[in-house]
Amino acid sequence: MSGCTLFVGTSGYSYTEWVEAGFYPEGTPSGRMLPLYAREFLITELNYTWYQMPKAEAVERQRSLAPPGFLFAAKLTRTLTHEIDPETWKKDAASYRNGITPLLQAGQLAAVLIQFPPSFDRTPEHRRHLAALIAELDGLPLAVEFRHRSWNDERVFTELIKRRVILVNVDVPDLYGLFPALDMVTCPDLFYVRFHGRNAKGWRSGKMHLQFDYSYSDDELKDWIENRIVPMAAKARKGILFFNNHVRAQAPENAKRLIRLLKEYGLSTA
């Protein structure tokens, strides 16, 4: 149906509860999870780079555990998106760039995920920070995930297209103020989707183990394929799709199911 290749994976892979759920064999230590994960999927998001600044040596060790051609999307560190210090964030941006270099040099960095919180609304101050952040990280494959609905604006999309920055399309509960599900492609190189689940009660609670406790049905995934993924695949050379509903290993189960459904629709998967 299109020349677009789709890579499907999960947001993170190192979860001890995935051993209990049977995705990893009993007794699997965290250091052995990536090679086992890579038997099922050819891409993952790195979550730990949000919590701590990546170090080139550690990133290279991690990269070496995956097979050649395996791809990574890496979250931008929280001091650049959530806990912004006007005096130090540019230094942090330089440190992040250095830390992620092994993936970039190896051609295994699919995207840098700039994930903003719901509190990051479209104010003049936030617009200036986003523009400055994109400039500081120029040369990296950047993808922006908005959580606040105010960014759902054609002027925002026009600026992202101009800068060749990828808009992350999301699936979240239909709650007031959250960024809506779209099929927007702002860069012909890549489109990016994150499935967070639709547990509205969990999102309201603010508790992660409830927020991401959700399993997608086949009908929900088919709706995404027909109404969003197919149109996006017609406009981009590559698509990356991640499931963040990691509780009880629902993410890898849903990811495998999406791969099966994509093939049934005649789409090309890696």
Query: What pLDDT tens digit does each residue of the chain (270 aa) get?
Result: 568 999 999 999 999 999 999 999 999 999 999 999 999 999 999 999 999 999 999 999 999 999 999 999 999 999 999 999 999 999 999 999 999 999 999 999 999 999 999 999 999 999 999 999 999 999 999 999 999 999 999 999 999 999 999 999 999 999 999 999 999 999 999 999 999 999 999 999 988 889 999 999 999 999 999 999 999 999 999 999 999 999 999 999 999 999 999 999 999 999
Whole-number Å distance between alpha carbons of 37 and 44:
9
What is the number of other CB atoms lying within 10 angstroms of the CB of residue 132? 13
Q: Give the largest Cα separation in the chain, rounded.
A: 51
Positive/negative CA dihedral, 16, 22, 28, 30: negative
Whole-number Å distance between alpha carbons of 8 and 172:
18
pTM confidence score: 0.96
Whole-number Å distance between alpha carbons of 18 and 38:
15
State residue 29 phi and psi, 5-degree precision: -80, 160
Using CA atoms, how far residue 1 sits from 102, 129, 222, 243, 262, in Å, is: 34, 39, 16, 24, 11
The answer to whether 263 and 269 are in contact (CB under 8 A) is yes
Matching residue, tokens 């990133």 = 59
> What structural domains does the chain harbor?
5-269 (3.20.20.410)
